[in-house]
A and B are shown apart, each in its own frame.
Chain A
Amino acid sequence: QLQLQESGPGLVKPSETLSLTCIVSGGSIISSGYYWDWIRQPPGKGLEWIGGIYYSGTSYYNPSLEGRVTITVDTSRNQFSLKVNSVTAADTAVYYCARDHPISVGGAVRANWFDPWGQGTLVSVSS
């Protein structure tokens, strides 16, 4: 059974870089057709899709975060990672990783549905 587990610091200072890793177990990240995504939920708010990556390194991002976010993949360790630069209090959230079952739309790949998810990890941005 495929499982995902997020790891990383729970506290980051403003203006610094948030870094998280998602370890995939019970299956290979080199799985044809799947992307590997990050989604977050600020306290008391809804879900926000951050972006995703294919095992080959092809990635896509939420336009509202593009430029501040980088997702990378390490197939040798069966994991993928998220970096968010120049964080502010608005980046405080529970961060989830998930497997994305994407869809092709007009030749472009788009996120479609997410299963399974990790349990999530709370990252607070505070000095």
Chain B
Amino acid sequence: EIVLTQSPATLSLSPGERATLSCRASQSVSSYLGWYQLKLGQAPRLLIYDASNRATGIPARFSGSGSGTDFTLTISSLEPEDFAVYYCQYRSIFGPGTKVDIK
């Protein structure tokens, strides 16, 4: 079974900084990778599907890249509302998450 690992576990940054989150698959998942944002008490939000396609309504500061086994979610300039936990996902499998918190 494919395993997804995410790094780092926690990313401490300030508003305005660039965030780079990594997701690695134990074997190739082609481009079938999604990214989600989770905040306490809110509905999780799909950010990116098929590795690099922004979901409807997602700001342009969010971008995804990669294929095969290595993927990246980039937030170009952190807004206050972006501090959250981010998960990558392949089919029914989720990674362990990266928490982006305020430095």
Residues of A within 8 A of B (CB): 4, 41, 46-49, 62, 96, 98, 101, 103, 110-120
Contact = CB atoms under 8 A, between A and B. Distances in A.
B94 A48 contact: yes
A46 B49 contact: no
Contact of A46 (B55, B91, B92, B95): B95
A24 to B, nearest CB: 13
Nearest to B34: A113
Interface string B29-54: 00010101010011111100110000
Contact of A49 (B93, B96, B97): B93
Nearest to B48: A113
A117 B95 CA distance: 18
Contacts, number: 53
A53 B97 CA distance: 26
18 contacts: A4-B43, A46-B96, A46-B97, A47-B97, A48-B94, A49-B94, A101-B49, A103-B32, A110-B91, A112-B32, A112-B91, A113-B49, A115-B46, A115-B55, A116-B43, A117-B43, A117-B44, A117-B46
B71 interface: no
Nearest to A37: B92
A49 B36 CA distance: 14
Nearest to B41: A119
B89 interface: yes
B56 to A, nearest CB: 8
Interface residues of B toward A: which range?
20 to 34
Contacts of A119: 41-43
B37 to A, nearest CB: 11
A116 B46 contact: yes
Interface string B80-101: 0000000101011111110000
A62 to B, nearest CB: 6
A98, A113, A116, A118 — most chain B CB neighbours (10 Å) = A113
Given A103-B32, A112-B32, A115-B55, A47 B43 contact: no
A98 B80 CA distance: 26
Q: Nearest 6 pairs between A and B by C-beta? A: A115-B46, A49-B92, A47-B94, A113-B34, A113-B49, A117-B44
